[in-house]
A and B are shown apart, each in its own frame.
Chain A
Amino acid sequence: MEATSGRRIVIEPVTRVEGHGKVTILLDAEGHVERARFHVVEFRGFERFIQGRPYWEVPVAVQRLCGICPVSHHLCAAKAMDRIVGGEKLTPTAEKMRRLMHYGQTFQSHALHFFHLASPDLLFGFGSDVNARHVLGIAAKFPDLARQGILMRKYGQEIIRLTAGKKVHGTGAIPGGINKNLSLAERDLLLQDLAQMKDWARATVQLARDYTLAHIDMLGGFGSFPSNHMCLVRADGALDLYDGGLRAVDAQGRTIFDHVDPQRYLDFIAEEVKPWSYMKFPFIKSLGPEHGWYRVGPLSRISACSFIDTPLAEAARQEFMQVAGGKPSAVTMAYHWARMIELLHAVEKIDELLHDRDLQGTDLVVKGERRGEAVAIIEAPRGTLFHHYKVDENDQVTMANLIVSTTSNNEPMNRAVESVARQFLDGVEITEGLLNHVEVAIRAYDPCLSCATHALGQMPLDVQVVDAAGQVVGRRVKGSKER
């Protein structure tokens, strides 16, 4: 129990995000919110799980980390192992197959998040009846939207299956390349539903845009704040979810660093350890830990890139930036609009790739000079993902360091929760309204709290009020037990 001068309110775990987490709201002696912390039960031990394995196993093994974005870990590990085998300059077929896999992953992940996690909050309202504010409530009141969400998710999963070999734990990406191309029959299968997916993606961007603009005054005061942003960009500054150099901008959009080689990330990014959290707090070295925290993910990518190289998404980005006054948006809930712009971008890139005959090429793998250390960065659906490995002369991994997007968004999520708590906490009672407003703010980041076990009988929502003496003075449990 942490000693404080006031009271501590604990909310755990947060619902509708991956894995387990809890929220602690610290009150001062007068009962006002002093600060808030979003605790994450991180995947401690995962590096140990990887150490000792031969490097070629890693792109498959890392998928054990997460049930929601295994493809991001698969591809990021494969990119690192490309460098280990000296095969980082992939053949056109290999790079395009991987990109197709990645855009399929982004498409399904963003669709799932919007339709089945965020839309209940947006369409029913943050304070609406909790008994209807879930995906089945959406299914009942907006059946077409719920069905779209299912089919968009399924389409992305099909792309993953056809590029990675299977929907879960694919083996498509291997060090130096890919182990299969896309047959014409597979391509034609994906082309069948492409036009429908694009239409739905356009409509979804419109829905997210309209929601944001209709509620912009309220959203501007909801868990929002200016911040630094970081993401990968292509050499010409374009949004690039698969590869590129690191760019960081400040709250005004001014460049902090640009086109940083991923191999040099430790020259620009450091991680702070805090005693109350297992999770590290990354920051931009040149700004220090107090001012160098930053956001990642759709809001950051749309805000920091120079342009998007697909026409529909670029038009949407321009309007987004215009609304934000030409600088990075401070509105946390604008993550949803930005996420849908990326959804549209992903399907535009899928369209582009499916019409590229390089996908039917047969030159799949390259190798070169062997290295002992490699860093890879990819833009996962939730944000920038770092994989850093060392491999010994026996081909065994001796060191693995991962910085996942949720880690980068750790400080911003704390700030969002704190802002919401200040606004909605009245006394020490954890009302349903407070709970959900906190969760709405966290969900905007679409955090992934590592792939926790989920066995039957686990995962209640346990809310506790603890006083300064460590006594539980109030408790609220929202269970979701299977039975």
Chain B
Amino acid sequence: MTRVLVFGYGNPGRLDDGLGPALVEALAERGLAGEITLESGYQLQVEDAELVANHDVVVFVDAHTSCAPPFELHRLEARSETEFTTHALTPAAVLALAREHFGSHAAGYVLGIRGYAFDDFGERLSPLAQSNLAAAVQFVLQALRDGRIDVPAVAGNPEGDLHVRA
């Protein structure tokens, strides 16, 4: 059985930056915690590489500032970043650390959900972000039902990248 990790990250106290954790929360409310691993955090960190390594498919979920709404799904390649900007790591860097240190072969994706409001404190999503979140949740639920986020399905994608518009 494919071990799937959905990892939403962002700061729920900074408006739409909380889209990633909000998606994880929505999946948990639908009872998916027993079927897949759900994790959320402020940022991706080095120790997340070990968690990633315990799974076959990892979907990193974050707010996106500029993608076409409602969201984009993007196949991720492990990558040694030439630069990283904060204490946090990028999904590609976490995937690379998982491979380097824990022998991981996990397939990685980034699900970027379009957000709009980031510049204030507040534990709420903007109306448009809520709408995009709902679409992303439906997409993930459908993908899990269909088994589309799965290693064989991805490996069969000749482009290597899977772009999905809901």
Contact = CB atoms under 8 A, between A and B. Distances in A.
A46 B121 CA distance: 6
A46 B112 CA distance: 26
Nearest to A41: B119
B11 interface: yes
Interface residues of A, number: 55
B86 A17 contact: yes
B47 A153 contact: yes
A146 B112 contact: no
Nearest to B65: A457
Contact of B13 (A65, A479, A483): A65
Contact of B45 (A46, A140, A153, A461): A153
A145 B50 CA distance: 16
Contacts of B43: 67-68, 454
A154 B83 CA distance: 23
A455 B46 contact: no
Interface residues of B, number: 52
Contact of A480 (B11, B17, B83): B83
B100 A459 contact: no
B42 interface: yes
A179 B67 CA distance: 43
Given A46-B121, A168-B41, A453 B14 contact: yes
Given A67-B43, A150-B97, A482-B91, A136 B80 contact: yes
Interface string A375-387: 0000000000000
Contact of A455 (B45, B63, B87, B101): B63
Contacts of B101: 139, 143, 146-147, 150
Nearest to A65: B13
A461 B122 CA distance: 27
Contact of B86 (A18, A46, A139, A153): A18
Nearest to A67: B42
Nearest to B112: A456
Interface in A1-52: 13, 15-19, 43, 45-46, 48-49
A16 B19 CA distance: 24
A198 interface: no
B89 A135 contact: yes
Contacts of B70: none
Nearest to A446: B87
Contact of B97 (A67, A139, A157, A458): A139
Contacts of A371: none
Contacts of B83: 15, 130, 134, 461, 478-480
A154 B89 contact: no
B46 A149 contact: yes
A367 interface: no
Interface string B134-160: 000000000000000000000000000
B40 A168 contact: yes
A78 to B, nearest CB: 18
Nearest to A449: B86
Given A131-B82, A135-B84, A136-B97, A453 B11 contact: yes
B84 A480 contact: yes
Contacts of A49: 13, 121-122
Nearest to B44: A454
Interface of A: 13, 15-19, 43, 45-46, 48-49, 61, 64-65, 67-68, 70, 112-113, 116-117, 130-131, 134-137, 139-140, 143, 146-147, 149-151, 153-154, 157, 167-168, 451-459, 461, 478-480, 482-483
